[in-house]
Structures are given as structure tokens and as C-alpha cells.
Chain A
Amino acid sequence: MKVLVIMFTKILQRILKLFGRGSSLPGTIARKLSPNILNKFKLPNITICVTGTTGKTSISGILCQIYEQAGYTVGNNSKGSNLEDGVISLLLENSTVTGKVKTDVLVIELDERYVKRVFKHMQPDYFIVNNISRDQMARNGHFDIVWNDIHENITDSIHLILNADDPLIYRMALDHQGKVSYYGLRRTKYSRDKANGALDLSYCPICHHKLIFDYFHYGNIGGYHCPNHDFSRPNVVYESVLNDDGSFTIDGQVIQTENNALYQIYNLSAGYVTALVSGAVDREKIAYALNYLKLKTKRLDTFQIGKVEATLLLSKNDTPISYNQSIDYICNQKGKKTVFLGFNTISIMYNIKDISWMYDVNFELLQDESIEKIVCMGSFAYDIGVRLKYANIDMEKVVYFEDSTPMLSIIAENTIGHAYLVFPFDMEHQFQALMKEKVK
């Protein structure tokens, strides 16, 4: 039966591909035919799952490049779906009809809420948890629910690779009897003493006293300890250290970063530590892969619009950590700036119009003197304006365009200095489409 299901859905996958339909559909059908299909596969020696509120796709991409560069074959689902059926589709695509996975390595990107559905059937050798923070709460519920869903499904056979700087993530190690490795970033010149908005864990989970944060990189990420020493940032053997030129050093290796965004250092460090502890790639080869391979960052891109130079920062609405990273990034850049904020829908995942998340985004940082103008675009332009007003922004700098259709001319006509476009998926699609049209 197992062989039949795998064979049938593999053929289906081929057919769908002929019609240009690579999707999670074969996975869905395989699961319907055989609900336990996931535990029917024979996995390779290195099977890695990656989850977290942010960084999943980047870390997966980084790992694929490290292993491929070192000569291994890698199966990965980042171009497809990161839900249960996407994982099944990935395994179908890369296995023999008996279910033996043919690639040397599997790098599986996994949505936080689907960890339980996948781990019920199969456990990876390595499991990277990059961060958990408030994210699409209308869809996910709150972060404690997400945390429990992940934590309950970790077995001791799994080697955890954890971000030591996120206390919620370190908390996962407390009762883990299996192996744990950490990555983390030492205090940098960009670190702040004060929190940048609401924290998702501010009390010691053991003694319930208030945690002391020694510094913050962003969000809940930083150095922390409990006054009773019950719960402190663990020792990070492969700790990353930011260098003055924007590169960083890990394990004696200097790694260049394409953009000086701190979150990218976490992604690269996660990739480095995982590849190293998997024992399959030498440290020099990992460093080489990280330095010399072009890493495509999904979230950051630059464009020329007439005379205006613009940086597009893909920022998920409803995921304050993503939005905050973009705002942090803008503030850390030099020169005069105009910031474009806007969206017409809150989410492309669900039709919900809650805007409370905007009050968890640190718009207060836009008080920065280098910001000459802020342009609010789209259906929620005035709601964004109200948020800026209560963030004590000089409202003389703020303008509104409820109709975002003439986006390129709005940008061209309103930019002073460099344009920073803080857009979620809907505006990004619109922007990219307009840019393509322009080229034609």
C-alpha cells in the first residue's frame, strides 16, 4: 500500500510539474490516501528542520548552499510550502518508490504551527528554532500557544540548535535531555539598553522574578539573566562577534554580510553552527560558502525609480519583529531619508483587519532626525498616521495617499534623500509589477 501511494503520488507530481504546477497537492493527496505517510520515508543521515517567527527561509537557503558547496545533494522545500503537505511533497519528490530519500541532506523549512503535525510522524536529527515572537495573532493565537505546540513535540533524540539570545527559545532547552547547541551574538555597538517595545518573556519561567536584560539587539533578543540565577543566557561556544566593518567573526572565521542587518547575522550563525555540529562540513568550507556564495535575501532589495534610489524592505504586517527589524535597519543607515509605509490588506493569509499590532511596532524610532518625510499609503493611511502621531512623530513631516495605485510617481515625487519602502506582500507585489512594466 505504502509503495502504491508513494508511486501514484510521485507520478502525479511529475504530471503536475509538466503543467507547471509544482505544489503541495501531491502531498495532500498522499496524506489523504495514507494519513501516516510521513513516517513511511527513510530519511538521510542529516535531516534538519528549521522553524521560527522569522529567518526560516533564509536559514534554509544558507544551509542548502553550505551543503551543496561541500558536494552533498540537498532536498529543500523553501520554494514550495512549509506546511505538512509541503513536507510530504518534498519527500515524495526526493525519494525512491519505496520511500528512501535519495538526497544526502534534507533541509526542511517548517511553519511554527505545523511542527506538531510533522514531528508526530518523523523527527529530524537537527532542529533549529530561531525565534518566537508575537506574530499574526489573529491566525496563530499568541506566542505561548505557538511555544507549547513546538515544545511538546520535541523528543530527546533531536539535537536542538537554538538561538541563545531569545529567552523564549532558551526556555526550550530547560527540560531537553538530548543534545543542544547554541548560536548567539555578543553585545554590539547597535545594542540598546532599553527594550524596543513589548517583550514576550519578561519574567523568569522558574522563579517568576523579573528578568534583567543586559542589552537588547532587537525585540526580545539580547542578553538576559534572572536575579536569582535560575535562568540566564547560556554560554555560547560558537558566539558571533560583530566587527566594525559590518562583517562578523564566529569560531575564528570572518564572515561578510551583504547588508549590515543584525538578523542576518543570526541566520548565518544558525547555518554555521548547524553545519559544523552535523560533522559533515569543515569550518573553512562553511566560512567559504557563507562568504563567496550569493545569498539571496528575500527581504531587502534596491531599485532606481527615476532619480530616486529606493530600498525595498519586505516587512510582514502583523509580525512586529519583522517590521521592527526594517525600522531598525532604516535608522542605522546614513544620509537623509524618506520612509514609505503602507498596505491595503493586513495579511494575504487571512481576511482580517485588526490593526492592534501597529502599536507593537516601534514607530517611535522614526523620530530620528535623518528622516525628512514619512509617506503613509493605502487603505490604512490614516490609521498609520494616528499611530505616528501617538509615537510623537513631527506630523508636519507626514503625508497621506489613500490610493496607492500611482505608487511609482508617489515615490518619485515625494522622496527627499534615499527612499525606504517598508511594504508587506501586497504592496511589494504591486511595486514589483509596476517596476516590471516600467522596464518593458
Chain B
Amino acid sequence: MEFHIAHLYYDILNLYGEHGNLNALKRQLETQGIEPVIHFLSIDDEIDISKFDLIYIGAGTEENEKFVLSHLMKYKNDILSAIDNGTFFLITGSALNFFGKKWIQKDDTELECLGAFGFEVKEEPMRMIDECYFTCDFLKTPVIGFQNQCTVMKNNDATMFTVKRGIGMYPNSQREGVHKNHFYGTYLIGPVLVRNPELLQYLAMEMIRTKYPDVVFQPFDLELDLKAHDHYIDRYFSKLKIEEE
């Protein structure tokens, strides 16, 4: 049993330790007897989107992201049909901007994006940062992480998280993330899966159920990850946790 995972633009969209996500996913898939193969591809490569079970893209600087966008637009149709056909996508940080309709730059000029979703993003003159505590319908435990971005998102009708603390789509927004079929995107940066073991396990199980429905699940290797997650929440988000309950 094999999974082919593409880490796209691994060498240029790598601001926040993104590789941690794939290390964690790889390790957990292995506990289930799956052999994950990670393909590192970037702007010098031809990319065959249809070959992969999961596509991962992380955050970069604005200059690098625009550089990537022009490369990614070559694969627009392939990406749209992959999302429709249920290929898994994990998108973290500002890489999410690629998947909306358009990107309004600081000087008000517009960049056309992939148009997989109806949202649009606008660059702000300042960066917005915050620690985050989100909840999610398909998870029992809260999702924690960090936002550090210079864009805000409007007209997103496919959100995934409820914001209890954090920037969300824009300052003081109630919702965040993009979810449709097997597309999971969030403005949370960096090692989102490492910090949220339940989300990691959920994603691994969904991927396995989709491709190998007969697999009997084995215990995952998440004891330490859960301890780190729970201790962090107890230390810094205990008030939010009580409100939840």
C-alpha cells in the first residue's frame, strides 16, 4: 500500500518549518502499514497533479508566492479537476491565497488566481499575527496554531474552523479555513498537523479510508503529540477551554 505525496514548492514556500507536517503524516501513515512516498517538486519541474494522493503547499514571502503563482496557473485545470475528483489537498498559511479568485496587491493591481473557490484576498500594508484557538465540526479537540500574514480574505463560503482566538480570515472574523471534498486549507502557519494530533489522525484515516477501505486501523503513535497539545492548552488557553465545555 502506497501513498504518493507531493510537497510542492518545498524549496521556496518554506517559511515556517512546513516540512514538519509531512514528517508527521509520513510517520503516522507508516504506523498503519502504508508506505508514503514524498515527491519534492518546484518551479523547475513539470508537475503531473493526477499522480498524487495528497498535494501539500506551505507559505512563502510575497515575492516568492507570486513567482509560484505564475507557475501554478499552468496547472489550473488539472488542479480544479483534482479537487473535484477528491484528491487530498493540505494547504497552510498564505499558500491558501492561490486557490481563490483573485489577489489584490498592495498597489491595488489584481492577480488572477486558480479560482477553485469564490473568495478573494487583499494585501494589507501591515502583517497580522496572533496565536490561534479554533474549533471544528469534525474534531473533538480544539485546533491550535499561529497566524502571520499580510492578506485578508473575503467572500469565503467554504470555511472550516470557528475562531475562538486568532485573526481568522481577517481581524475579528468568526470563521477561518477552506474545506471542500478533500481540500483542507488554513491560514494557520507551519507545523499544523504536528501541533494538532487529532487533525493529523483524522487526515491520515480519511486518506486511508478513501484509497484502502478495507484497512483495519492500528494504534497511532501520538501519545507525546497529544501531551504537548494538551499541556499547551492547559497553560495558555485554559479559559477558552472552560468556555468550550
Contact = CB atoms under 8 A, between A and B. Distances in A.
B190 interface: yes
Nearest to A398: B224
A379 B20 contact: no
B76 interface: no
B17, B61, B62, B189 interface centre (most CB from chain A within 10 Å): B17
Interface string A198-229: 11001100001110000000000000000000
A141 interface: yes
Interface residues of A, number: 34
Contacts of B20: 356, 359, 387, 390
Given A137-B16, A357-B17, A389 B224 contact: yes
Given A354-B131, A386-B228, A359 B17 contact: yes
Given A203-B12, A357-B17, A390-B23, A144 B191 contact: no
Nearest to A205: B63
A358 B17 contact: yes
A138 B61 contact: no
Nearest to B197: A386
A387 to B, nearest CB: 8
Interface in A335-355: 352-355
Nearest to A383: B228
B232 interface: yes
A360 interface: yes
Nearest to A141: B127
Given A352-B129, A390-B20, A198 B14 contact: yes
Contacts, number: 98
B17 A198 contact: yes
Interface string A231-261: 0000000000000000000000000000000
Interface of B: 11-12, 14-20, 23-24, 27, 42-44, 61-64, 67, 127, 129, 131, 146, 148, 150, 189-191, 194-195, 224-225, 227-228, 231-232, 235-236
A402 interface: yes
A402 B43 CA distance: 43
A151 B11 CA distance: 24
A183 to B, nearest CB: 27
A143 interface: yes
B232 A354 contact: no
Contacts of B27: 389-390
Contact of B224 (A210, A355, A382): A382
Contact of A356 (B62, B67, B190, B232): B190
B194 A359 contact: yes
Given A138-B146, A202-B11, A354-B129, 13 more contacts: A134-B15, A137-B16, A145-B61, A203-B43, A354-B190, A356-B17, A356-B20, A359-B194, A382-B231, A383-B228, A387-B20, A390-B20, A402-B231
27 contacts: A138-B146, A141-B150, A143-B61, A198-B14, A198-B19, A199-B14, A208-B67, A210-B42, A352-B131, A353-B232, A353-B236, A354-B131, A354-B189, A354-B190, A357-B16, A358-B17, A359-B19, A359-B190, A360-B16, A382-B227, A383-B232, A386-B225, A386-B228, A389-B224, A389-B225, A395-B224, A402-B231
